[in-house]
Amino acid sequence: MTFQDDFIQGQNEELIEYMKSSRLFSHIPDSLLSTLVPISDLRVYDPEQEILVEGQENDRVFFLMRGAVQIFAGGEFILELKRQGDLFGEMSVISSKPASATVIAKTRVQVFSVLGRNIGRYTDIDVERINHILYRLFAAVLTDKLALTTYKAKQYEVVNIYLNKTQAALAEKHTQLLKEKKAAEAAANTKAAFIATMSHEIRTPLNGILGMTELLLSTHQTEEQRDFTESILISGRNLLSIINDILDFSKMEEEDIQVEVKPIRLQELVEECIALSAPDAALKGLELFERIDPKTPEEIKGDPKRIAQVLNNLLSNAVKFTDQGQVQLLVKPLEGREGGELLFEVKDTGIGIAQEKQVELFQPFYQVDSSITRRHGGTGLGLVIAKNLVELMDGRIWFESLPGVGTQFYVSLPFEPLPKPDAQEFSLPKGLSLALFERGIEQGEALEERLKRWGVQVKRVREREELGILLASSDLIDLVLLSITGSTTEAHKLGQEVWSYPDREQTPIIFTTKLGQELDLSRYQQPCKHLYKPIRERSLYHAVTELLRAHTGESKSDWSENLQELYPLRILVAEDNQINQKMLLRLLSRLGYAAEVANNGKEVLEAAKLQEFDLVLMDIQMPEMDGLQAAQALRHSYKKSCPHLIALTANVFEEDKQRYLDGGLDDFIGKPISPKLLEEKIRQLGQKLFSSSRPPLQSP
């Protein structure tokens, strides 16, 4: 067997030329290269082809000429060779042991292989001379590798020096950033404290201004005086709206606001939003109402605070930019996302928005016209806040508008419906028939839908002539609901007209008027009720049920104007501001209550020792002992029969409210205090206390 049988390329002159052109062998004389040719060859391997196999005999040294190979030991990847002249297989040749690793071609590779063992089988080769050449070749390659390693080591040293310097600079920068972070946090805390202080300091006097102005509106005034008073009230509410917008925007800038999902009763949430804008709408003579599609779930999961904030901003804007007509809030389900999607629509008949102005509408501090700011007031932040909150809840907000016709804002939000309650909250006698007189088409439809959900048979008319025809008929009518859009005189005439028809002399009537329009029901002998628009579902239900009871002689009305007669609550007002004291006492006096007064928390505790109270209206910021401390002391002293504690405070942020509730208070009313909200809270407490037996307050 000759060498040529094993290696076709042996003694190939082209191989010598190739070796001479390679950097690896260029320094070796031609005579030596010629000596190597008989035991050398140039091999090509395809990707993933094995060149050496771990554990198998190997008698060759391989020099990588082109491509890349990967080395594996024990099945694990060790390293990759891809530099021309990289050497492998030499250790098994030198040690005369099997290959200690597997070498696999990563790409198509070209290697120069030289026989390093078993050369003696080729009798025509001078083994000693070949070994001498190989050693020189190995030495050259290894020296070259050593030089490269030294060069790389120097590079690594330079890199390490650079990295050390960089690391030191980063550490210094990190320290600087920590200092800046602490300074920023301190500045943010200072800003938050300033905002909270300013909120309290502005809201406290504003509470007195708005409260006293509302009381003033309820007194007898000339038309000129009433106009002045209403202007004061509108200006005060505009100021409050501006303060709220600035505070909300500031909070959104400095905080990562989180969505808090909890059960929501949609009707209550929508009514609360409507009630908040109702006073401003009433002052402008606007019709404000909500309409919830019957297919809408009664309860859903969502963030009630954020949804209410969005709707309040949209309703406030709609009322602000509408001088006549109506504002309505519509709610209906949409087919869309998994779980469900709700569409809220706020629709007004206001000034509208010009096409060229619409693109900038959601920009901070933007008003479509400077004259709008002068005429209607505001900061231009409401829509920005609404948009940010809607997107936070994974929803969408958009609008349509025609100048001079009105604007419609749409908000779609994902929601999760909750199971419908087994028992109906509002239950009325079957077959109950009600005549509804409402001139507004959409208002009438909304009321009719609500009543029909309770099983009421509704006969709706829009004109007085139609009402007369209905009353003159033989149709069964258990109740009449009269929506009054005019004066008190109109209400009186309509009521008398209803009772003038045969068999209608004692038909119960519910009068509905704009907010603030008083009716003297004491002049009538017949059963009747008076509700303010917008009508709240619970108020309407109680009015209907109490009228039916009164008509049948079952019980006295639960909605008498004098709440004290219905609910003889013992009330203590804890308030250090004299103007706010006076305003609260007047509001309570209108409801029939003569309340006691405490100027600070210590006086609250002293008063509780001398007299039993059912309700304490507790200002939070008071001298000597604040409201929170007083509440905790009362809870400690009267564990089983503590008075109902309602916080009165200008700190209206959600975290403040939660802190007061966690600290022992039962409820919360923000300043400026809404007379309607105060009355509602008292009514709720009265219904709770006087619907069941209550143990008397025990002294400690």
The domain that holds 69 is classified in CATH as: 2.60.120.10
Using the 3D structure, point to which of 63, 97, 125 is the last residue of a domain.
125
The domain that holds 409 is classified in CATH as: 3.30.565.10
**Pair 553, 570 in one domain:** no
Domain assignment of residue 229, yes or no? no
Distances (CA, A) of 516 to 218, 279, 455, 548, 587: 7, 8, 31, 26, 14
CA distance 594 to 597: 10
**Pair 337, 413 in one domain:** yes
What's the one-letter identity of residue 155? Q
User: What is the per-residue pLDDT across 545-594, written as a single tens digit (0 to 9) for each?
Assistant: 888 877 655 444 333 357 888 889 999 999 998 888 888 988 898 888 99
**Pair 345, 368 in one domain:** yes
Q: How many domains does the chain have?
A: 4
Domain assignment of residue 470, yes or no? yes
**Pair 352, 479 in one domain:** no
**Pair 20, 116 in one domain:** yes
Domain assignment of residue 147, yes or no? no
> Which is more confident, 11 or 381?
381
* Domain of 66, in residue numbers: 3-125
What average pLDDT does range 645-660 have in this prediction? 81
Inform me whether the pLDDT recorded for 288 exceeds 90: yes
Domain assignment of residue 245, yes or no? no
Domain assignment of residue 44, yes or no? yes
Tell whether the torsion through CA atoms of 198, 204, 205 and 211 is positive or negative.
Answer: positive
Dihedral of the alpha carbons of 541, 545, 546, 550, in degrees to the nearest 10: 150
Domain assignment of residue 151, yes or no? no
**Pair 394, 492 in one domain:** no
**Pair 120, 263 in one domain:** no
Domain assignment of residue 134, yes or no? no
**Pair 534, 610 in one domain:** no
**Pair 265, 355 in one domain:** yes
The domain that holds 682 is classified in CATH as: 3.40.50.2300
Domain assignment of residue 669, yes or no? yes
**Pair 314, 372 in one domain:** yes
**Pair 407, 282 in one domain:** yes
**Pair 378, 263 in one domain:** yes
What average pLDDT does range 310-315 have in this prediction? 91
* Residues 6 or more apart in contact with residue 278 via CB below 8 angstroms: 288, 515, 532, 533, 534, 676
Using the 3D structure, point to which of 560, 581, 600 is the last residue of a domain.
560
Inform me whether the pLDDT recorded for 247 exceeds 80: no
What average pLDDT does range 114-126 have in this prediction? 58
Using the 3D structure, point to which of 73, 92, 125 is the last residue of a domain.
125
> Which is more confident, 45 or 30?
45
**pLDDT, averaged across the chain:** 80
633: exposed, middle or buried (Cβ count in 10 Å: 0-12, 13-18, 19+): middle
pTM for the whole structure: 0.55
